Chains A and B, each alone.
Chain A
């Protein structure tokens, strides 16, 4: 920022104000943007992650959480998966059965339905196309 037509003290004062504004307002805005962006991105991908996890083999909620936790940045709070699983069940993409567990109380096991498998294939295909599109764009810009 260069304001040549101001007297020097005023120029310095304006520079100080400018620096203060950049430090206190511009940076937090950038942080809020990145937080919001990753949250929005994660929201859609988490569903894809859950369906892929359940698609590999039937598993119970805690196992799904553990597997997804292995994907860096995908699950911030493990509890988030339960309302999502509840919705997927309502939409008949997954079903649940109660299975006895050798080391504890019976557990609810989730598995993919035929409808869920069809949806998963479609989502994976869409994801592949989206990813390759973004990758090719990145190559062009770099």
Chain B
């Protein structure tokens, strides 16, 4: 939110926006009019800092500290039941309960894989995402909590990345090569017990070729959908940028060249 009369530094503006997000979040689901409170908060800050020049983050933080944590403004009994539950789980001196819940669900999911594993892991994934989102909304760093929250997220991200990068070419290769559909055209028969070393190498080269070609094809799609990709693969690809996607094209091209050369030699 841009402030009409306050002259905030970019840093202070970011801090102020984050605070207003917390105000809005903490009042959502209650009977309090969040828009009005937001304008009250703005008026309050203008009353204190209105006559000052450019306001630095530290100065603004002092005023926000006096206003206090928006989460404490509304009594718990006025909040929706689900928010109270989340609040209770998060309550504690170090705000670690959501992280512990994530770890518990991850462990439960892994230990009880045949019974309720997938459900436990899915819930652990959701709790982990919620923990990260809440920390971000509150302007907190996850800190050491990432050791409890990130394992399930990293596992999920690795699965997503592997599925996207290797799934389609592997599926196509298995479908085409191992069924022998193009054995006559390529001269590469399906793998069998009596396959020669040259056949095995040709197979590997074909897989590498398919993967390389897929990565080349994937490059513009990944560059276009970089935000959804980041969102899907939190926290592994948090810092993914377009230049990294260009590397993907480079690696793809390299794989294609290596595969073609290998096929020529074999």
Chain B, residues 10-45, CB within 8 Å of chain A (1/0): the string is 000000000000010001001111001101110110
**Which residues from 82 to 128 on chain A have a C-beta closer than 8 Å to any C-beta of chain B?**
82-83, 85-87, 90, 103-105, 107-108
- Neighbouring B residues of A86 by C-beta, 8 Å: 32-33, 36-37, 40
Can you list 22 A-B pairs with a CB-CB distance of less than 8 A?
A61-B47, A62-B44, A77-B67, A77-B68, A77-B69, A77-B73, A78-B67, A79-B41, A79-B68, A79-B70, A79-B73, A80-B68, A80-B72, A82-B41, A83-B27, A83-B37, A83-B73, A85-B40, A87-B32, A103-B51, A105-B5, A105-B50
Interface residues of B, Cβ cutoff 8 Å to A: 4-5, 23, 27, 30-33, 36-37, 39-41, 43-44, 46-48, 50-51, 66-70, 72-75
- Neighbouring B residues of A43 by C-beta, 8 Å: 75
Interface flag for A76 (CB, 8 Å): yes
With A62-B47, A104-B51, A105-B46 known, 12 other A-B pairs at CB within 8 A are: A61-B47, A62-B48, A78-B66, A78-B67, A78-B68, A79-B44, A80-B68, A82-B37, A83-B30, A83-B74, A87-B31, A103-B51
In the complex, the answer to whether B32 meets A80 with C-beta atoms within 8 Å is: no
- Describe A's contact surface by its main secondary structure: helix
Our count of residue pairs bridging A and B at CB distance below 8 angstroms stands at 71
- Least CB separation from A89: chain B residue: B36
Most chain A CB within 10 A, of B5, B37, B40, B69, is at B40
Interface residues of A, Cβ cutoff 8 Å to B: 43, 60-62, 65, 76-80, 82-83, 85-87, 90, 103-105, 107-108
Most chain A CB within 10 A, of B5, B44, B69, is at B44
- Neighbouring B residues of A60 by C-beta, 8 Å: 43, 47
- Neighbouring A residues of B47 by C-beta, 8 Å: 60-62, 104, 107
